[in-house]
Structure 1
Amino acid sequence: MKQDVRPIKNLSEIKRVLKYLKNYNEFGIRNFMMFSIGMNCVLRISDIVNLKYSDVYTNKGKVKKYLRIREIKTGKIKELLLIHAKNDLVEYKRWLDNFINSQPDKYMAPLKNNEKMIVGTGKNAKEVNKNDYWLFPSSQHPTQHVSEKTFYKAMKQVSKATGVEHLGTHTPRKTGAYLFYRGGFDDVLRDKDIHPSNDIALAMKTLNHSSEGITLNYLGLEQESINQRVAENSAFNINI
């Protein structure tokens, strides 16, 4: 059964989600950072878990200006600024370095082998090292990346604890794309009396979609778009 996953549209809700994610256990900061970078860079969960340390940090340990990857599903290049995630990435690096440096040598030994795994499918499939310096390592196997299933479980736990519904592995990406579309969170725009931009072309671009229709459907905005067009269409105002 397909999961009904939706973007988080209000700042008040996402604050509850992020606060719980970050603090609910010792790996909360990892799951929080997965959500943050997924939202800021509008990434699929498959791309999030496959990020490497070197994708976001320079050789000197500084946060890079841009995240630039080739999407696993589409093979398309994606490049987005890391400016809004920079402070979180600086804090996360301290945790990550401490986590890796505290591991016994036997747990890091797999880095020396040449075991491979396949990521992607079809023409976009590629072979990569299974053991590496991943940005989001597994808690049990630190040379391997965290699984998508682990993040899914974390999101379900967050939903249960916070009461925010329709959360899943696509929530970060959908939320990021929604912010590009609307120009901000709905409650913030409303409180500041700012008209939403509703820039579907920009959202489509950040998602690497091929049509606005696909983007509207992905964000659950098809009916909203129809309602808006009907409301703005004066042809229905017939006076007799």
Structure 2
Amino acid sequence: MAEVQAIKDLDTVKLISYLLEKRCSKQMSHIWNIGLNLALRISDLLSVKFTDIQNDRLIIFESKTGKLAEIKLNQKALAFIHEVRVTHPNHVYLFQSYRNQQAKSSRPRPLSRRAVTRAFALVGEELNLKLGTHSMRKTRGYHLYHKTQDIARVMKMLRHSSEATTLRYIGITQEEIDKDFEELEL
């Protein structure tokens, strides 16, 4: 699997959302926008059911770690979730597969990871970016780190156990750390 990157420019973050909607679907744009705000692994994001959302919180067990993730939903995430719910009031999953005939005649299933991977790769190729399903999680971590400079806080949000893993994951390079030392003179 190819290494994907955090999107460091906020205008590019918005452009990706726009292109996903125009080139693929509104659903793919919603996955991008909600994924940015929840920082979940794609398998967990796609498995979210509307019943997992209680008031302003998402409560799920992460599939990779088995840990309970209780995430307070910000206003932007709540607005996107509300839009999906109003558009598809009978859906069980937040990102339910509904376009093909099989989906219409069988029990509800979430959208496949493969479909999301293809859509993100298409937009990534257009923008010459290494864009993938982990890009949402990495992007949120990167921007939280740059806002707070608190790696422990980013680790907690991503539910990582090592600073080194988190720094590598969000794309903080030794070059950036060196630059911080050069620019900050006390």
TM-score (norm 1): 0.67
* Residue correspondence of structure 1 range 89-238 to structure 2 within 5 A: 89-97=81-89, 133-138=92-97, 139-140=99-100, 141-142=103-104, 143-161=108-126, 163-183=127-147, 197-224=148-175, 226-228=177-179, 231=182
Measure the CA separation in 1 of the matches of 2:115 and 2:152. Answer: 33
Measure the CA separation in 1 of the matches of 2:184 and 2:121. Answer: 41
Larger radius of gyration: 1
User: Is contact 2:34–2:80 with CA below 8 Å preserved after alignment?
Assistant: no
Gaps of 5+ in 1: 59-63, 101-132, 184-196, 235-240
Looking at secondary structure, tell me which structure has more helix per residue. Answer: 2
The one-letter code matched in structure 2 to 1:77 is L
SS in 2 for 1:18: helix
The one-letter code matched in structure 2 to 1:137 is Q
Q: How many pairs does the alignment contain?
A: 178
1:21 CA displacement: 1.4
What whole-Å deviation, never above 9, does each CA across 1:36-63 have from its counterpart, x for those lacking one? 222111100110111112123x5xxxxx
1:78 aligns with 2:69: yes
The one-letter code matched in structure 1 to 2:149 is N
- After superposition, the Cα gap between the structure-2 partners of 1:147 and 1:10, relative to the gap in structure 1 and judged at 3 Å, is same
SS in 1 for 2:65: coil
SS in 1 for 2:111: coil
* Correspondent of 1:36 among 24, 33, 38: 33
Measure the CA separation in 2 of the matches of 1:4 and 1:217. Answer: 11
* Correspondent of 2:49 among 49, 52, 56: 52
SS in 2 for 1:97: coil
Instruction: Tell me how large the CA RMSD over aligned residues is.
Output: 2.1
Gaps of 5+ in 2: none
The one-letter code matched in structure 1 to 2:112 is S
The one-letter code matched in structure 2 to 1:201 is A
Aligned position for 1:10 = 9
User: Is contact 1:29–1:92 with CA below 8 Å preserved after alignment?
Assistant: no
Measure the CA separation in 2 of the matches of 1:65 and 1:168. Answer: 27
Compare 7-16 and 79-88 and name the one that shifted more.
79-88
